Structure 1
């Protein structure tokens, strides 16, 4: 059965894990302290700092907020104020041409193929929605954001929680059984499958010895053109 919607992860699925960890994270880490110091009075950054204080449960000063954000960054915490700040820093990098979103060529072809067949495409990643749009909006293949109908981050829930996928299905108005979720993480696929979604494991570094889920090494073999009615 051809799904009505495809929900895709980013890291290790549409895009290289190395891009996030070796390009994006070092970029924001190197600029975090100066960015906060220079823009602390900007409404968007001030709101982020208020969120940091709320998370800390303490009236931290600017130095305290910066130190905590840095600690979260180094620990790769999936926490909203950090993700929002990273998104702002990356936005400047993309706008300046210092960053370019990485998307695999086969992923671009697959996304375009499915979109052309009328399958609604959505993203679900631990990165913020703003960061997701930046990656797909600034690629070597141009702006890919018109291909997508919607984006979800951990505001909807954790990626290893079945309830998150049920909530996404409700939000996009498609029955879980008519959604295909793509990820390189089996625990995420288990949660999606528990919510009733179809799933496929992306194994870009080679096929695993065994997996309880359908496996693909690229987007080329997932709903190829001849298989879509």
Structure 2
């Protein structure tokens, strides 16, 4: 085992995609499932208060995209994200489907989308269609870290509900027993240092005593700017192998 953690570390904060879970599971199973099920889900549950709240957030985001598209020609340096923006026609819940498909296709870290996806995935986990994939070293590491007195948290762009489902219905069993808490984009975006300051304040642990593990250098940089320690996760299937100076781990067995 490679000792890469300072003795001062009390908390291990983990990314999910490419860190605890294969990227292929997220993009090859979860995203397609949500995309396939969203229209039927909205037709059945679209009037529920929690779903209406997600649709309200998505509508606000859509209107911001429309404004960006309108201003793009006048201000060329603006965000070009809405170039292929679909129409959102009508007020029925299912009218949001083309825009939702658009957001999934571009992997937008949208709070409204992530919250809605979590609700859709819930039905898949509940009926047994979905069982989340976890790297085989994750559960033993969780057990080892807890035995060593560490607290474990998750920070992912997926909603807290989606995170809880992923660890509750994993192929390795229910792993939520090891986790002290979860953070999503409600706390802030993962590439912004302020998000990590807020996490440290919420769990009442100094940033220097928190280790963040992620496969995205920009996220690790933001965490480091907030005072946290960081390790780069290099898992099979990850899009980048350049750690840009961060310590590299290929398995939690190394931590």
* TM-score normalised by L of structure 1: 0.90
- Tell me the equivalent position of 2:254: 221
SS at match of 1:24: helix
The answer to whether structure 1 residue 100 and structure 2 residue 131 are counterparts is: yes
Deviates more, 1:116-125 or 1:54-63: 54-63
Runs of at least 5 residues in structure 1 that lack an aligned partner in the other structure? 223-229
Q: Which residue of 1 aligns with 2:167?
A: 136
SS in 2 for 1:73: helix
C-alpha distance 142-79 of structure 1, shift in aligned 2 (>3 A): same
Tell me the TM-score normalised to structure 2 length. Answer: 0.82
Contact 1:53 1:60 in 2 (8 A): no
Q: Please, which runs of 5 or more residues in structure 2 have no aligned partner? A: 1-5, 64-87
Encode CA deviations 1:85-130: one digit per residue, 9 max, x unaligned. Answer: 1111100000111101111111111111101222010000011111
- 1:196 and 2:202 are equivalent in the alignment: no
**1:75-224 alignment, distance < 5 Å:** 75-205=106-236, 208=241, 211-222=244-255
* 1:55 positional shift: 2.9
CA RMSD of aligned residues (A): 1.9
CA drift of 1:22 comes to 0.1
Q: 1:120 to 1:210 in 2, by over 3 A?
A: closer
Q: Which among 35, 40, 45 is matched to residue 29 of structure 1?
A: 35
Contact 2:193/2:223 (<8 A) preserved:
yes
String of CA shifts for 1:63-91, please: whole Å, max 9, x gaps: 43232222222222211221111111100
1:181 Cα offset (Å) = 0.5
Q: Give the aligned length.
A: 222
Q: Which moved more, 1:197-206 or 1:48-57?
A: 48-57
Bigger shift: residues 34-43 or 150-159: 34-43
Alpha carbons of structure 1 residues 54 and 110: separation in structure 2 relative to 1, 3 Å: same
C-alpha distance in structure 2 between counterparts of 1:155 and 1:102, whole Å? 25
Counterparts of 1:101 and 1:202 in 2: how far apart (Å)?
19
CA contact 1:156–1:168 (8 Å) conserved in 2: yes
d(CA) in 2 for partners of 1:184, 1:209: 9
